[in-house]
């Protein structure tokens, strides 16, 4: 099921201003709506039904810290999709996707990694990160990815926090500066939950990235809850699906300021996959090239991801582990 962005033959009038919640987060307003484009079918990051005009801005992916120092993270509750990746020191970092909703404040924003190339390109997204090591910045640029680092429109420092965990981005401001240029294909192979194989009971899971970090999930009320979340109260991302992809991890070729080797997740090739939905788990395999979307399959055929919000865990094949709670 694909999202089509089709040219409209004629447009007239404009949308009313968006309604926003207490945090200034709302649906796209007239200034954020593409002229001459309509959404047909589904939102590309959730597979949910879509009507009307597509946002005029591209998908925006923000790199957000995922350690205790990031607490409280802000903006996660308005995200469409989140990917968790391994970084140096055994910690993880989040690549948070925003498209349907554009929060005023997200962060704390941290630096980019070469891993982000395989995450960002399939969404034709722009990358919002504090900066990056010179080798990584060059690779991101050579990959044709537009990045917005500290100093760009929307960035600010929160003086009540300590650096480097005090950098935040006003995505609404940035969205007025960047225009969508390309059609956005469905990021995952979305489908109907009724077409999902039965699988096995799974009340939760533990995704281990390293000896120092495990992300624990529990299922209740139709949603998954991250037991390790550093998000602000009421701003947690509670997905309908947790998709675990076992990936190869190599060496990025440089060290962080503390002397830790920087890992690089290879979000290409193939590997085993586990799709958690509705308190059950279905096992399969995944396949992906650097700039293509992910394909999922079982021995019986294609594996659809039920429409809704998804958290993608890029768990290392070596040194990582996944434990299922039955």
Residues 13-25 have pLDDT tens digits of 333 333 333 334 4
Nearest of 114, 299, 105 to residue 95 by alpha carbon: 114
Same domain, 229 and 299: yes
Same domain, 142 and 206: no
Beta bridge partners of 324: 205
In a domain, 42, yes or no: no
What does the CA dihedral 99, 112, 310, 123 come to, rounded to 10 degrees? 50
Tokens found for residue 281: 């788990």
Residue 303: which domain range?
A: 190-254+262-325
User: 135: helix, coil or strand?
Assistant: helix
In a domain, 34, yes or no: no
Same domain, 69 and 163: yes
Same domain, 310 and 194: yes
Q: Is the pLDDT of residue 5 over 90?
A: no
Same domain, 207 and 139: no
The answer to whether 120 and 45 have CB atoms below 8 angstroms apart is no
Cα angle value 179/76/42 (rounded, 5°)? 55
The pTM of the whole model exceeds 0.95: no
Q: What is the pLDDT of residues 59-74, one digit of tens each?
A: 999 999 999 999 999 9
Same domain, 242 and 129: no
Q: What is the pLDDT of residues 297-317, one digit of tens each?
A: 999 999 999 999 999 999 999
Same domain, 160 and 204: no
In a domain, 6, yes or no: no
Residues 1 and 3: their CA atoms lie apart, in Å, by 7
Same domain, 71 and 124: yes
Nearest of 7, 115, 136 to residue 61 by alpha carbon: 115
Same domain, 169 and 213: no
Q: What is the mean pLDDT of the chain?
A: 88
Q: What is the pLDDT of residues 273-289, one digit of tens each?
A: 999 999 999 999 999 99
Same domain, 194 and 319: yes
Number of domains present in the structure of the chain? 2
Q: What is the pLDDT of residues 153-177, one digit of tens each?
A: 999 999 999 999 999 999 999 999 9
């Amino acid at each position: 099921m694909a999202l089509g962005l089709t040219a409209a033959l004629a447009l007239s009038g404009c949308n009313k201003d968006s309604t926003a919640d207490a945090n200034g987060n709302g649906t796209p307003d007239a200034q954020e709506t593409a002229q001459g484009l309509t959404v047909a079918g589904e939102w590309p990051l959730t597979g949910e039904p879509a009507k009307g005009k597509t946002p005029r801005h591209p998908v925006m992916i923000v790199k957000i810290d995922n350690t205790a120092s990031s607490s409280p993270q802000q903006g996660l509750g308005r995200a469409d999709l989140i990917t968790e990746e391994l970084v140096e020191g055994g910690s993880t970092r989040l690549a948070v996707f925003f498209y349907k909703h554009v929060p005023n404040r997200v962060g704390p924003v941290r630096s980019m990694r070469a891993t982000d190339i395989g995450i960002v390109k399939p969404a034709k997204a722009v990358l919002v990160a504090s900066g990056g090591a010179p080798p990584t910045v060059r690779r991101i640029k050579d990959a044709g990815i537009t990045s917005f680092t500290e100093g760009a429109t929307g960035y600010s420092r929160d003086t009540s926090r300590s650096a480097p965990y005090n950098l935040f981005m006003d995505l609404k401001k940035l969205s007025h500066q960047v225009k969508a240029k390309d059609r956005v294909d469905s990021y995952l192979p979305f489908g109907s939950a009724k077409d999902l194989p039965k699988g096995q009971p799974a009340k939760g899971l533990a995704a281990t990235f390293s000896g120092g970090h495990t992300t624990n999930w529990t299922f209740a009320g139709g949603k998954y809850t991250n037991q390790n979340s550093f998000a602000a109260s009421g701003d947690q991302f509670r997905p309908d699906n947790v998709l675990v992809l076992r990936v190869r991890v190599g060496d990025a070729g440089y060290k962080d300021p503390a002397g830790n080797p920087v890992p690089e997740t290879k979000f290409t090739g193939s590997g085993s996959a586990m799709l958690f939905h509705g308190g059950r788990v279905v096992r399969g395999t995944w396949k992906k090239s650097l700039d293509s979307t992910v394909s999922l399959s079982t021995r019986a055929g294609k594996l659809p991801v039920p429409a809704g919000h998804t958290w993608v865990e890029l768990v290392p094949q070596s040194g990582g582990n996944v434990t299922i709670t039955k």
